[in-house]
Structure 1
Amino acid sequence: MLREFVEKKHYLFAEEAADWEEAVAMSCRSLEADGTVDAGYAGEIIACVRKYGPYIVIMPNIAMPHSQEGAAGVRKTAVAFMKLEKPVSFDPADPEKDARLFFTLASCDPEQHLNNMKRLSEILMNEELVAELDQAVCPEDLLRLQEKYLD
């Protein structure tokens, strides 16, 4: 999966985001760039987080921005990766809701989406890999970690 991020250019390494809304929008840019989602998809995710709270922060330091399956503006099923150097806070009262690693989901094919979720869970269950992703600074780091942990 890490190799796919590089091959499809579904990644972004950035210093920081002004706030969580900007972080979500930034995490969607690589998916927008190739037409996987349209420009409104980030707004849908942001609206859902405003309505339901920071459900996209699935564990400390890791966010999984997504809207509902088949959301408007989703044209392909894919996952994108983003890493911020400075964490963004989704809930100032709860530091466990800060995130630096973003895995942004777009889904219009349930079977492919389930496969993506399975592969993503393999990454997230590997604490060493997650720790090294937190230190990644470029696409070459993603390729190196793919070879080290997933090939």
Structure 2
Amino acid sequence: MLREFVEMKHYKFAEEAKDWKEAIRMSCEPLEADGTVEANYKEDIIACVEKYGPYIVIIPEVAMPHSQEGAVGVNKTAISFMKLRKPVSFDPNDREKDARLFFTLASCNPEQHLDNMMRLSEMLSNEEIVAALLEANSESDLLEIEKKYLTH
């Protein structure tokens, strides 16, 4: 999965974002760059978080920005990865809702999306992989993590 992020250029490394909205916008950039999603998609995700709260922070340090299934402006099913060096807060009263790793989901094919979700959740259930991703700073780091933990 990490190799796919590198091959598709669906990754980004950044120092920080000024707030969670900026982080979501930044996390969508790799998907916008190749037409996977349209420019409106990031604002749809932000609107969902404003409406439903920080449901996208699935475990401490890890956010999974996404909008509704079949959202307008989604042209392909894909995931992009972004790592911030400094965490962004989704809830100033709850540090568990800080995130540095962003896996941004775009879905227009339910079967492919389900497969992506299963592979992603399997990867994120391994604490060593999450710890390694928190230390990653380049595409070669992503490929090393893939080789070490995910190649069977």
Structure 1 residue runs of 4+, over 6 Å off? none
User: Which residue of structure 2 aligns with residue 54 of structure 1?
Assistant: 54
Matched, 1:126 2:126: yes
Which amino acid counterpart does residue 73 of structure 2 have in structure 1? G
Question: What's the offset of the Cα at 1:57?
Answer: 0.3
When the two structures are superposed, what TM-score results if normalisation uses the length of structure 2?
0.99
Per-residue Cα deviation, 1:51-110 (whole angstroms, up to 9, x for no partner) = 000000001000000001100110000000000000000000100000000000000000
Tell me the CA shift for residue 3 of structure 1. 0.1
Show the 5 A alignment for 1:98-137: 98-137=98-137
Deviation at 1:122, TM superposition (A): 1.2
Looking at structure 2, the residues matched to 124 and 44 of structure 1 have their Cα atoms a distance apart, in angstroms, of 25
1:69 maps to 69
SS of 2:135 mapped into structure 1: coil
TM-score, normalization: structure 1? 0.99
Identity over the aligned pairs, expressed in percent? 72
Instruction: Give the structure 2 partner of residue 6 of structure 1.
Output: 6
Which ranges in structure 2 are unaligned for 5 or more consecutive residues? Answer: none
Name 1:38's counterpart in structure 2. Answer: 38
Residues of 2 paired with 1:4 and 1:44: CA distance?
25
Tell me how far apart the structure 2 counterparts of residues 69 and 7 of structure 1 sit (CA, whole Å).
Answer: 25
Question: Match of 1:134, SS?
Answer: helix
Q: Deviations over 1:7-30 (max 9, x none)?
A: 000000000000000000000000
* Cα root mean square deviation, aligned: 0.4
DSSP-derived class of the 1:41 partner: helix
Q: Deviations over 1:128-150 (max 9, x none)?
A: 01100000000000000101011
Find the aligned partners of 1:45 and 1:76 in 2 and give their Cα distance.
16
